[in-house]
Amino acid sequence: MSMKLITRDTDYAIRALLTLRRYPGKVVRVDLLVKQNSIPRPFMRKILQILNRNGIVHSYKGKGGGFTLARKGGTASVMDIITIFQGHTEVISRKFPFETTRTATEG
């Protein structure tokens, strides 16, 4: 059984933001974000609209329009993005006891 830590939308948002970060001060078209991240255009537009509403990116309309990072230096944290797309999440650090007397060959 696998457990997803982040949703598809969160993953797409982080990937889009990392791409925007490679173009500081430039308006990046949706087409470029779609192509570089292999994300379907409708999903990318939805993600960018949510990021824009939350002040993470700026939107520029019209010819030559696109998106830029809104926060200087791209200061949004991964937890900021997770909270936007998944709601408040508590990160819990737990230590699990492991037996240290067995070796890998003992099975």
- pTM as predicted: 0.76
Give the domains, in start order, of the chain with CATH numbers. Answer: 8-106 (1.10.10.10)
Ramachandran category for residue 89: left, alpha or beta (phi over 0 → left; psi -120 to 50 → alpha): beta
pLDDT of residue 31: 96
pLDDT of residue 19: 96
Averaged pLDDT, groups of 10, the chain, 107 residues long: 77 95 93 96 96 94 91 74 85 56 51
Give the count of alpha carbons within 13 A of 44, CB side only: 21
Within 10 angstroms of residue 27's Cβ, the number of other Cβ atoms is 14
